[in-house]
Amino acid sequence: MFQTQLSDLSMLQETAKLLLNHFPEERIFAFYGSMGAGKTTLIKAICRELGSKDYVTSPTFALINEYSTSNGSVIYHFDFYRIKKLEEAYDLGYEDYIYSGNYCFIEWPEMIESLLPDGIVAVSIKEGDKGVRHLEATKM
């Protein structure tokens, strides 16, 4: 298990690095947290840590964004907030992405939880007092 607190944004990049180092073999990360908790912000930092210079935004309407890294690999970023039925994930071809071996970062995984494979990293972000974020990550 990985746990940390972020009291301000200056800690974000180091937190992204520590998270990746704690789970060096894992490629699927599911981000849990309320609206505005910082899921997308953390994913941006992780993508930078992985060498992506692409503009990282939440794929709320597109459901998936694809980012390139400096070594030529691909990162997939999902946002399932607006999904209404599991069939929408099937229509998206989620399996091709999830089982690609590339990094996959999933916001609102609650919407497709039954489709997620074993061995993902569940990252929980909770808001505390004065903007502090409590982050906990566990391999499921």
Q: Tokens at residue 1, please?
A: 């298990």
Residues 6+ apart with CB under 8 A from 126: 33, 34, 37, 133, 134
Instruction: Compute CA distances 63 → 16, 43, 131, whole Å.
Output: 23, 15, 28
Total domains, the chain: 1
pLDDT tens by residue, the chain, 140 residues: 999 998 888 889 999 999 999 999 999 999 999 998 999 999 999 999 999 999 998 887 788 999 999 999 999 999 999 888 999 999 989 999 999 999 999 999 999 999 999 999 999 999 988 889 999 999 99
Strand locations in the chain (E): 2-6, 28-32, 64-68, 74-79, 103-107, 121-127, 133-139
Return the pLDDT at 59: 82
Domain that holds residue 33: 2-139
Return the pLDDT at 13: 94
Return the pLDDT at 65: 94
Return the pLDDT at 58: 85
Return the pLDDT at 31: 97
Return the pLDDT at 10: 86
Q: Tokens at residue 86, please?
A: 């599991």
Return the pLDDT at 54: 92
Contacts of residues 126-129 at CB distance under 8 Å and 24 or more positions apart, as own/partner, are: 126/33, 126/34, 126/37, 127/33, 127/34, 127/36, 127/37, 127/38, 128/5
Distance in angstroms (rounded) separating the CA atoms of residues 11 and 89: 34
| Residue 37 Cα to chain centre, angstroms | 13
What CATH number is attached to the domain comprising 103? 3.40.50.300
